[in-house]
Amino acid sequence: MPEVFVRPDVASFLRYLSSIPTPAIDEIKVEDARQMVRAMAGVADVETGPLAVMRDLEMPAPHGGTIRLRLFDARAERGAGPVLVFFHGGGWVVGDIDSYRSPCAEIARQLDLPVVSVDYRLAPEHPWPAAPDDCEAAARWIADAPAALGLATTSLVLAGDSAGGNLAIITAIALRDQPAAVPVIAHWALYPAADLANHYPSFQQFREGYYLTAEAMRWYNSHYRPDANHWRGSPMQAPLGGLPPALVTTASLDPIRDQGRAYAAALAQAGVPVTFREARGNVHGFISLRRAIPSSRADFAASLDALRSILTQTEQAQ
């Protein structure tokens, strides 16, 4: 197998991780893993920075409770326009709107769009399909432009990373088949878990030593318990034609890299406009590692530029 390219700052980050005598995420209790992720967000990622609006909301949930949301906006006041709905990563088990505050704030600043981050229910307390249920419900609620949101929503952009990339794709499929009050004009899947039903070479190639491990992925799946043969668990089980334009971002040192590559190729074969970007020499989760891996800032910025171009083209075509 040829030697893979690893950036110098990524290599330093990986050496640092291997030198720390801490247990792997799959060796600890779920609540301890969640606390570890929250703590790491404050150390590995950059500061949130100034923003005109950062406001918590609640919406009615399909299960009878509520779903917590957080609105990010670089403008204190805004006219009618698109809203980006963000679904965080964390294997459907860890992660929340607090640990993803910095990436969501950066998206809002760079795209000049309001961003609503969704705190969907997590496994194992709420296994599949609780997460896709919540994410679809949140997208539909935002599309209805409720007074509590304070925005005149004209369209949606769905986005997420890792498990959240999986949920962004699933929500895009659901809203294609049963449209919401406003259209989905684009979706962005960052290093997504797009195909849980098939095996790809990158899973074996990067199974350990590259931040996300094969054992961690098995641990996540054992708690989430998705049906890999159902499109709401593994979205590449669904027909993909008719989906909105897509941006697919992968990392070259990621065990699920090939799932993202396969999803981008399948979109193209289905006739869906797709832009593909790969962060060469970087690892899974890089949008939350911009302090630990400084070159990740350029990767994140390049994908935001690509999404901006997609949105501009969509606007011009309308």
Of the residues 99, 162, 252, 296, only one is catalytic, namely 162
Of the residues 119, 254, 258, 299, only one is catalytic, namely 254
* Three-state SS at 55: strand
209-212, Cβ contacts within 8 angstroms, sequence gap of 24 or more: 209/14, 209/18, 210/14, 210/253, 210/254, 210/255, 210/283, 210/284, 211/13, 211/14, 211/17, 211/253, 211/283, 211/284, 211/285, 212/254, 212/255, 212/256, 212/283, 212/284, 212/285
Structure tokens at 181: 């009050």
CA distance 12 to 293: 8
The sheet with strand 115-119 has its strands ordered as: 53-60, 66-73, 115-119, 81-87, 153-161, 184-190, 246-251, 274-279
Of the residues 284, 288, 296, 299, only one is catalytic, namely 284
Q: Are 151 and 114 in contact (CB under 8 A)?
A: yes
Examine the residue annotation and report whether 254 is marked as an active-site residue of this protein.
Answer: yes
Examine the residue annotation and report whether 223 is marked as an active-site residue of this protein.
Answer: no
Number of H helices, E strands in the chain: 9, 8
Q: What share of the chain is helix, strand, coil (3-state, %, to 5)?
A: 40, 20, 40
Structure tokens at 19: 């030198």
Taking CA atoms, 6 is separated from 3, 100, 147, 179, in Å, by 9, 25, 48, 42
Dihedral Cα 56, 60, 61, 64, nearest 10 deg: 130
Q: Are 190 and 303 in contact (CB under 8 A)?
A: yes
Amino acid (one-letter) located at 110: Q
Amino acid (one-letter) located at 7: R
Could you give the residue numbers annotated as active site? Answer: 162, 254, 284
